[in-house]
Chain A
Amino acid sequence: MRYKTIAPREADEAVLLASRVLPPFSDEVLAFVDDLSNAILQTKRFKQYPEVMAMAFWMRRANILDLKKQFEQKRGERTWLGRGIVFHIAPSNVDTIFVYSWFLSMLVGNRNIVRVSSATNEQLEALVEVINDVAADPKHTEVRSRFMIVQYEHNDEITGHFSATCHTRVIWGGDETIRRIRAIPLGPAATEMVFADKFSFAVIGASAFLEEEKPSRVIERFYNDAYWFNQNACSSPRLVVWVGNDDEVARARESFWAALEELADKRRLNYAPAVAMNKLIAECAVAINATDTVTVEPHRTSFVNRVLLSNADDLNRELQCGGGLFYEMIIPSLDRLAEIVDPKDQTIVSYGIDRAAFDQFVNGYRPQGINRIVPFGEALTFSAVWDGYDLLREFCRDVDITVR
C-alpha cells in the first residue's frame, strides 16, 4: 500500500493516530492558521492566484475569531468535542477546498488526513510548500503531529485503510466519486459528509441593473464569480436568470453582456483554445437536444458564450465545460423560478432582487435544491455552512452531560 505524504515534511501516521483531539479553537490551532494566512499573503507568487489570496483572507485572525464566536454562541452550555480523525477526499477542480475542509475540522480540534488530487499543478505545489514551511516551526508541533496531506492514484486499498481509521469521512464530489468511495466501508461508528455535483446560477433584476449607477462594479463582481476557477467550481454561475418585462430584460442583457465581454477580453483569465472549442461543442449539443427554441447568441469573442433557452427542460445541468459558457432564461417575476430550480442547485448569486422576495420564494415554494443565496461577488466565498451542512458543528460530537 503506497501513498505519498506531501505534508508535513516528517509525517508519522503512528503519531497522528496516537494523538488526542485538541479543544475547539485552541491557541495552537489559531496560531497555526494565523501564521499560514500571513505566510500566503506575504508570498509574492500567490498574487497570481486570486482564489488562494481569497482563502488566506478568509483565514485571517479576525475572521477566525468571528467563527469562534458563532461557534460558541451555538454551543451555549453544551459540550462539543472534535470527532477524532477526519479523512477528507478533496476535489480535483478546486485546489483550495482541501484547506477549507481541513481547517474547519482542525479548528474544532480534529486530527486530519487529507487526500488531494494526484494531478499536481503549480498552485497546489506552492500551497503545499508554504504549509510545510509554516508547519516546520517548532511552535506548531501540536498541529504538525495532527495532520497529513497525502497523494495517491485512485486506490481502494489505501482509501479503505483511511476509511477504516477515521471517525468522519468527507467526500468532495462529484457524484461518480461519491458512488465509488461509498462502496468502501467506514468504521461502524464513523459519520460521513458528501458534497455531490452541484449547479449554480445568477438571478438578475433587469430594472435594477438598468438603474445601477456603477454597472462596471456589478460586472466585475459577476466576472469574479464566473471566471475564477474557470467557471468550474460548484458555485460558479452557469445560468443567468433575468427577471423583468421583455423590454427591460432586452436592454439589460445588451449592456450587461457587452460590458462582461469587454472585461473578459481584457482579463483573459484561464483562456485556452481547447475550452473555446468545448464551448462550441456544448452549444451545438444543446441545440441538438432541445425540445423548444434555443438561441445561440452571436459571439464577438470566445470569452463569453451564451445560449438563450425558452424552456427549463432544455437546461442540461450535466453539460458544462466552464470557461464562460452561460445559459440564459427570462422570467417575468421571481416566483417563476419554481419552473427552473432543481435538487442539484446550490448557489444563487443575485443582483437587484431583495431578500424579502427570496424569503418569500424559499419559504413559499420550499424548493428541494438551493443552499445559498448570496450577492454578486460572493459565489466562491467559502462559508462554514456549505451545501446545507454547518461544518463546524458536523465536525464535533456532542457530549451530553446531565449530572448536576
Chain B
Amino acid sequence: MALDDVLATGPYSLSHDDKQQLLVEHLNRLTQHHAEQCDPYRRILQAYGKDKQVWDRVEDVPFLPISLFKEFALKSIPDDAVVKTLTSSGTTGQKVSRIFLDKETSRYQTKALAAIMQDFIGGKRLPMLILDTQNVIKDRRLFSARGAGILGLSNFGRDHLYVLDNDMQLRADELKEFLATHRDTDILLFGFTFMVWKHFYQEIKRLGLDIDLARGVLIHSGGWKKLTDEAVDNASFKKALNHLCGLERIHNFYGMVEQIGSIYMEGDTGCFQTPIFSDIIIRDPIDWSVLPAGREGIIELVSILPHSYPGHVLLTEDLGRVIGEDDSPDGRQGKYFEVLGRVPKAEIRGCSDTYAEEVSEGAV
C-alpha cells in the first residue's frame, strides 16, 4: 500500500499481521532510501554490516539512538529542499535535536496527525483554546518542539485563543468571553502538561474562577517529569481538572519531535495507542533483544513518515512497556503502551573532568 493510501486508511484499522506486513514493507523502502541519500546513515549501516539488506520483521530493521540527531545533522534531502527545521526543547547550553523536513515529509506528518485527531475529536474544526503564550510560535524559521506542537494542533481548531499572555499570566477575561461566545459547542483545548497544570489549572483555582469546560476536549503532552514534585500523575491530573471545571474528555499523548505527526494518543485503555503508521518495540538494554508485553524496557519507535531524515527507526531514551495489542475496549487496533519515564542518567564519572559534575542537566 502506498503511503498516501495508508494515510487515508483508518489509523487504528489494522491488526497485528497486516500492520507488521505494511510497516516492514515501508521500513525497508525507507532504509534503502536513507542509505542512498544520507551519507552518515549509510556509514552506520556499513559499520554494522547491515547495508544492502531487506528485513523480514519490523524488529530486525536497524535502529538509531535518538540522540544522534543532537550530534549530527542527519538528512536525506538536499539543503534547498529543507522547508522547516524542528528542534527539540532543551535548556541553554544543552544540545538539541535538529530535524530537517521537506514538503513531502511535512505533508505526511500533517495528514497522519489529522487522521489521528479526527479519530478522537471528529472531523469538524472546533473553537480552540491554546493553553500557552503566543510567544512560543513567533520565530517561524526555527520551531521549538513546543511551537511545532502548537502549530500542528492549531489546524484542528478555529477562533484560537492563547490563554496566557507574554508574562505567562492567565488572560481570564478573554477566556470567559471565549467560553461565553462558544457556549453551545464542543471546544478543543491544547497545551503542554506542565503548562496546563501550572498556568491554567492552578491559576483558575487560585483566582477562584468559575470555568465550565464540560464540553471541552483537552489534548496535552510533554510528560510528568516536572510535576513529580507535586505528585501529579495522569489519574490525579484528570480528576483535578474534572473537579474544577467539569472537563471529562482528556487525552494525554506521547510523541517526539524526531517523529512528529505519528503521535500516540491516550485511548480508553488509559494507555498510548499506536496508529498504523507507527509502532513501538520494547528492548532489553542488556542485549537489545525484544521484550514481550508487560516487560519494562527501552522504547524503540518506528514510523513510516520520515522521508527527509533517517528517523524511521529510533531507540529513545524513555522506558516503557507494552500493555496489550488489538484488544482495546474502544475497538482501536494496534499495540498500546505505558511510558515509565526516562532512562536514569549514568553517573557522570567519565570524561575525567573535575568539574564534570557541574555540567547542567536540563529537563527536556
* Residues of chain A whose beta carbon lies under 8 Å from any beta carbon of chain B: 89-94, 117-119, 121, 153-154, 171-174, 176-177, 180, 197-198, 229-230, 232-234, 272-278, 280-281, 283-288, 290, 294-296, 298-302, 307, 320-323
Known: A119-B357, A295-B47. A229 touches B349 (CB 8 A): yes
Known: A273-B285, A286-B47. A174 touches B352 (CB 8 A): yes
Give the distance to chain A from B292, nearest Cβ to Cβ, in Å: 18
Q: Does B174 interact with chain A (Cβ within 8 Å)? A: no
Known: A281-B65, A322-B349. A91 touches B71 (CB 8 A): no
- Separation of A368 and B88 alpha carbons in the complex (Å): 43
29 sampled A-B residue pairs with Cβ under 8 A: A89-B354, A90-B354, A91-B353, A92-B353, A92-B354, A93-B352, A94-B352, A171-B354, A174-B351, A174-B354, A232-B350, A233-B352, A234-B352, A274-B344, A274-B345, A277-B65, A280-B65, A283-B48, A284-B44, A284-B47, A284-B68, A285-B71, A287-B48, A288-B40, A296-B48, A299-B288, A302-B288, A322-B349, A322-B350
Contacts of B288 in A (CB 8 A): 299, 302
Contacts of B287 in A (CB 8 A): 299-302
- Separation of A180 and B353 alpha carbons in the complex (Å): 11
Q: A93-B349, A277-B343, A298-B48 are in contact. List 7 more A-B contacts (CB 8 A).
A: A94-B352, A154-B358, A232-B351, A280-B65, A284-B47, A284-B65, A285-B71
- A117→B352 contact, CB < 8 A: no
Give the distance to chain B from A260, nearest Cβ to Cβ, in Å: 15
Contacts of A197 in B (CB 8 A): 352
- Separation of A49 and B96 alpha carbons in the complex (Å): 37
Give the distance to chain B from A368, nearest Cβ to Cβ, in Å: 20
Nearest 9 A-B pairs (CB), nearest first? A287-B47, A273-B285, A119-B357, A274-B346, A177-B354, A174-B353, A288-B40, A174-B352, A232-B350
Contacts of A283 in B (CB 8 A): 47-48
Give the distance to chain A from B62, nearest Cβ to Cβ, in Å: 10
Contacts of A298 in B (CB 8 A): 48-49
- A273→B354 contact, CB < 8 A: no
How many residues does chain B have at the interface if contact means C-beta atoms less than 8 Å apart? Answer: 36
- Separation of A273 and B65 alpha carbons in the complex (Å): 13
- A281→B71 contact, CB < 8 A: yes
- A232→B353 contact, CB < 8 A: no
Known: A285-B71, A287-B43. A177 touches B355 (CB 8 A): yes
Q: Does B348 interact with chain A (Cβ within 8 Å)? A: yes
Contacts of B345 in A (CB 8 A): 274
- A93→B350 contact, CB < 8 A: yes
- A273→B343 contact, CB < 8 A: yes
Give the distance to chain B from A327, nearest Cβ to Cβ, in Å: 12
**A173, A277, A290, A320: which contacts B315 (Cβ < 8 A)?**
A277
- Separation of A92 and B358 alpha carbons in the complex (Å): 11
Give the distance to chain B from A284, nearest Cβ to Cβ, in Å: 5
- Separation of A94 and B357 alpha carbons in the complex (Å): 13
Contacts of A295 in B (CB 8 A): 47, 49
Q: Which of B40, B44, B47 has the most CB of A within 10 A?
A: B47
Q: Does B230 interact with chain A (Cβ within 8 Å)? A: no
Contacts of B65 in A (CB 8 A): 277, 280-281, 284
Known: A274-B344, A274-B346, A295-B49. A284 touches B354 (CB 8 A): no
Contacts of A299 in B (CB 8 A): 287-288
Per-residue contact bits, chain B 2-18, to A (CB 8 Å; 1 contact, 0 not): 00000000000000000
Q: Which of A93, A173, A177 has the most CB of B within 10 A?
A: A93
Contacts of B347 in A (CB 8 A): 121, 272
